[in-house]
Structure 1
Amino acid sequence: MHSILVYGDSLSWGIIPGTRRRFAFHQRWPGVMEIELRQTGIDARVIEDCLNGRRTVLEDPTKAGRNGLDGLQQRIEINSPLSLVVLFLGTNDFQSVHEFHAEQSAQGLASLVDAIRATPIEPGMPTPKILLVAPPTVQSPKHNMAAKFQGAETKSAGLAEAIDNIAKEKRCEFFDAAKVTPTSVIDGVHLDQEQHLALATVLAATVAEILADY
């Protein structure tokens, strides 16, 4: 069996845009991806570790534990052996409380990659492959997202290219979610159910290709 760890934020946790509720497992993209992989004959288990507000390497000034480095190596140990780790982070680096720009956020992901590869896993267990997913761009944040993500569109400009460069530098896989779906028109930050489905379908094919090398 292939174990896949999805390490992400609210876009992967499955928050329903405009609410504080959550899509069911079979509706959010990690769950849909697991279902699709299994339907194609790939024995895969998707482990979700997705925390609302998680950054790459930044601290949330009001909530503890949102720095993506916090506990990452322990999560790798806990869930090993892993075939693949999917890092789907970056959006929260551009909250209005931070001054991060695209290059800094991508460097934050590079730090997470280094931490994963330095994890003291048990002898004989493989170091997992890593897939970096560039999140779709925040666009016209609305309602309760408006103040929180003010200026995010400008600060995040060029993020996908910056993450792609890190993927090449660190020899990771890369996927640009914006090529599949934009963010929800409801809040400009998260994903609608149909967008989760579209993303999962393409990511499942990408992950299947990665797992084929095992």
Structure 2
Amino acid sequence: MNTNPDAVTVLCYGDSNTYGQRGEDVDRGRWPIDVRWTGLLQDLLGDGYSVIEEGLNGRTTDLDYPDRVGRNGRAYLVPCLQSHDPVDVVVLWLGANDLKPQFGRSVADIAVALGRLLDDIETMPSYREGPPPRIVLLGPTPIDSTRPDFSEFCPPEFAPALVAKADELRVAVRALAAERGVGYADVGAVAGVGDDGMHLARDAHPAVAALVAGAVRAASAVTVC
């Protein structure tokens, strides 16, 4: 925990790629904090920033699983923000799990759901006077169905559609960020996935941390003046 009372608070709210799920050796769970991009982000930003990692495997924008409790990202977002209030910057990285065939959700519907999360962040009451948290949207990583372990997680018949929708979502998230005037960072432009074809490769974490650090600095320059 960063004990600097003047630190800029950065909440990283996302799914398994924020949690740090391994893209290789998946049976070993998450990468250690000194490997995860969120931990590296803290190192890059230094003591003037306090990075809070809020990632959860399977988290959706606003959808419920019939057999996995607590994965609805919208249901927990406001309590999470209030728990860490005041928050200066929110790095929001969700949408990939909404692509799962079981939900049957279109890319347009995912973008609308992300927009509702932006609304929640921008209208959340805070004890501190001033503007709401600045937001940085992260674009999804490309899904690579050619990776050796991909078939363990996704039936082959769903792979082409899933890959195509992930590419469409990347475009949609960029467009949403531009429309809403929030920050955007394209993770897919700097980072690859591991053997499972969905989660960041170990060697991708430093690149993601550097990308997000630049976006956070730009956002916080507007917030803290």
Q: TM-score, normalized by length of structure 1?
A: 0.91
Match of 1:195 in 2: 204
Task: Give the corresponding residue for 2:15.
Answer: 9
CA contact (8 A) 1:81 1:126 kept: no
Partner residue of 2:154?
146
Instruction: For residue 206 of structure 1, report the CA deviation from its aligned partner.
Output: 2.2
The runs of 4+ residues in structure 1 deviating greater than 3 Å are: 147-151
Is the contact between residue 94 and residue 155 of structure 1 (CA under 8 Å) also seen in structure 2?
Answer: yes
Number of positions where the alignment pairs a residue of Structure 1 with one of Structure 2: 210
Root-mean-square deviation (Å): 1.8
Question: Structure 2 residue aligned with 1:116, among 118, 121, 131?
Answer: 121
Amino acid at match of 1:210: A
Alignment of 1:113-192 (within 5 A): 113-124=118-129, 126-140=131-145, 142-147=150-155, 150=159, 151-184=161-194, 186-192=195-201
Query: Identity of counterpart residues, as a percentage?
Result: 30
- Structure 2 unaligned regions, length at least 5: 1-6
**Structure 1: 5+ residue stretches without partners:** none
Superposed displacement of residue 121, structure 1: 1.7
Is the Cα–Cα contact under 8 Å of residues 102 and 157 in structure 1 kept in the other structure? no
**In structure 1, C-alpha distance between the alignment counterparts of 2:96 and 2:108, rounded to whole Å:** 13
Bigger helix fraction: 2
Aligned with 1:58 (options 60, 63, 67):
63
Q: Where do residues 68-107 of structure 1 align in structure 2 (5 Å cutoff)?
A: 68-107=73-112
CA distance in 1, matches of 2:52, 2:110: 24
Deviates more, 1:122-131 or 1:197-206: 122-131
1:170 partner letter: R
Deviation at 1:131, TM superposition (A): 0.5
What is the SS of the residue equivalent to 2:167? coil
Deviation, 1:160, is 1.8
TM-score scaled by length of structure 2? 0.87
SS of 1:4 mapped into structure 2: strand
